[in-house]
Amino acid sequence: MSDDELEKIRARRRQQFMNRISEAKKEEEIKKEEENLVQKQQSELEEKKEIIMERVLYPDAFDYYKTLKSQNPTLTQTIENTLIYLIAQNQITSRIKKVELQIIERKIIGKEPTIKIKRNDDEEAVDIATKLKERFE
């Protein structure tokens, strides 16, 4: 093999290597653009959800929702999805109060309502179920 042939082979391989690097850079740029697009779509979706929640909730309920969102984002996402579904089904006809939002929250997490009894300022509040058990034992 002559030096010219070796040089041609080296040049061809160099060019192939440069092409692979170029393709890898293009793929990386496309991937970054797709990630940016997905992130932009997610932020737009979050903004739309926020607008919907602001319109459907009373101001005190919206404040409670914002607090809840910072404390428990997964629960808030479930609440959002539930409310948006109910809106889409035309089952929500008026704005939602804070108490109603709390009821929805408790139903989602499975927390039952409790009644507490406090007789004197010195006593701690006791659950009514506990108090009744003590009384009838």
Q: Give residue-wise pLDDT tens across range 41-91.
A: 999 999 999 999 999 999 999 999 999 999 999 999 999 999 999 989 999
Global pTM reads 0.62
Written as six digits, the tokens of 111 are 């927390």
Answer whether 58's CB lies under 8 Å from 96's CB: yes
Q: Is the pLDDT of residue 13 over 80?
A: yes
* Backbone φ and ψ of 76, nearest 5°: -65, -35
Give the pLDDT score at 76. 93
Q: Is the pLDDT of residue 117 over 80?
A: no
Structural domain of residue 11, as residue ranges?
1-56
* In a domain? residue 1: yes
* In a domain? residue 131: no
Do 48 and 62 have their domain in common?
Answer: no
**Residue 15, SS3?**
helix
Do 43 and 61 have their domain in common?
Answer: no
Do 35 and 83 have their domain in common?
Answer: no
Residues paired with residue 116 on neighbouring β-strands, in sequence order: 127
Distant-in-sequence, close-in-space partners of 102: CB < 8 Å, separation ≥ 6: 64
Distant-in-sequence, close-in-space partners of 101: CB < 8 Å, separation ≥ 6: 57, 61, 64, 65, 79
